[in-house]
Amino acid sequence: MPTTWITVCDTCKREDWDEARNTRPHGEDMAELVETAARDRNLRTRRVSCLMGCSHGCNVAIQADGKLAYTLGGFAPEAEAAQAIVDYAEMHAESETGRVPFRQWPQGVKGHFVTRHPPLPDDGEG
């Protein structure tokens, strides 16, 4: 089975981000929470700066080679959200196609899906 990756935007700032209160972008908080929640799971994580969903942070992408890929956004950088993202990613990892039946979705990811990308067709090369 291909590895499912969680890509976290570490530069997202939500509307309530405030220079006086926040020492770093919300995305860094979220990345740390996701990395903690994904520890000891059969998943990989990485950070990128900007997934082009800046108006609805925090944003993450869930991807695995040959499977449906998703971006999700609008998350507050909280442990509960990170846990839901990781739980969902684990189901994505276990599924054949990347499609996780709606009835199995963790409550915390509902309403956060932004895009879905079908896997590229096999072009017969390589």
Choice from 4, 7, 27, 33 touching ligand FES (CB under 6 A): 27
12 binds ligand FES (CB under 6 A): yes
52 binds ligand FES (CB under 6 A): yes
11 binds ligand FES (CB under 6 A): yes
79 binds ligand FES (CB under 6 A): no
- 6, 18, 28, 42, 62 from 50: Cα distances, Å: 14, 19, 12, 25, 15
71 binds ligand FES (CB under 6 A): no
Query: For 89, how many CA atoms within 13 A lie in the half-sphere containing its CB?
Result: 30
7 binds ligand FES (CB under 6 A): no
Cα(18)–Cα(13) distance, rounded to whole angstroms?
9
| Cα Rg of the chain, angstroms | 15
Choice from 53, 77, 98, 106 touching ligand FES (CB under 6 A): 53
Which part of the chain contacts ligand FES (CB under 6 A), choosing from 15-23, 48-56, 82-90, 103-111? 48-56
String of b and e for 25-63 (b: at least 16 CB within 10 Å)? bbbbbbbbbbbebbeeeebebebeeebebeeebbbbbbb
9 binds ligand FES (CB under 6 A): yes
Q: Which tokens in the block code for residue 37?
A: 């929640």
16 binds ligand FES (CB under 6 A): no
Contacts with ligand FES by CB under 6 A lie at 9, 11-12, 27, 50-54, 57, 59
